[in-house]
Amino acid sequence: MHDPLPLPDKLFFKIGEVSKLTGVEPYVLRYWEEEFDSIKPQKSSSQQRLYRRRDVETILQIIRLLYEEKYTIAGAKAKLKEMQSGSSSDRGSKLGVLEETLKEARQDIASVLAWLEEPRR
């Protein structure tokens, strides 16, 4: 297994491309599709697997968990689930901060508009 290559700026990748990019054999990728719910390549009209960028990023995470951090498949599944649920809670807290910032911006704009409408002496 070699170090993963940087991902090209594409939306979809064929299984051979994913194999070259990640250093993981196609049969292993097909096995991981069965084991990890988050890898769901689409099929083209010719039944060729088309992995989305998100799938390839997930595969890179799985590689790190299995080969670098020495997780088992079951452990990697659990860790991946934990990481994905953690990212959604991070997203929720970021949305809360964004909503608060927008609320403050609206108040500031309302204050400026009120100031502009005041009669000048």
Domain that holds residue 46: 12-88
pLDDT value, residue 105: 87
How far, in Å, CA of 76 to CA of 70, rounded? Answer: 9
Q: Is residue 83 part of a domain?
A: yes
Q: Is residue 42 part of a domain?
A: yes
Give the CATH number, domain containing residue 67. Answer: 1.10.1660.10
Three-state SS for 20? helix
Biggest CA-to-CA distance, the chain: 80
pLDDT value, residue 3: 58
Sheet of 42-43, strands arranged across: 12-14, 49-52, 42-43
pLDDT value, residue 87: 58
Q: Is residue 6 part of a domain?
A: no
pLDDT value, residue 82: 86
Q: Is residue 108 part of a domain?
A: no
Q: Is residue 25 part of a domain?
A: yes
Asked whether residue 4 carries a pLDDT value surpassing 80, the answer given is no
| Structure letter (DSSP) for residue 119 | P
Q: Is residue 60 part of a domain?
A: yes
Work out how many domains the chain is built from and give that number: 1
pLDDT value, residue 39: 94
Q: Kindly report, residue by residue over 62-117, the tens digit of the pLDDT.
A: 999 999 999 999 999 999 988 887 655 566 666 777 788 888 888 888 888 888 88
Q: Is residue 102 part of a domain?
A: no
pLDDT value, residue 72: 94
Which has the higher per-residue pLDDT, 52 or 4?
52
How far, in Å, CA of 42 to CA of 50, rounded? Answer: 5
Q: Kindly report, residue by residue over 12-61, the tens digit of the pLDDT.
A: 999 999 999 999 999 999 999 999 999 999 998 899 999 999 999 999 99
pLDDT value, residue 103: 86
How far, in Å, CA of 71 to CA of 63, rounded? Answer: 10
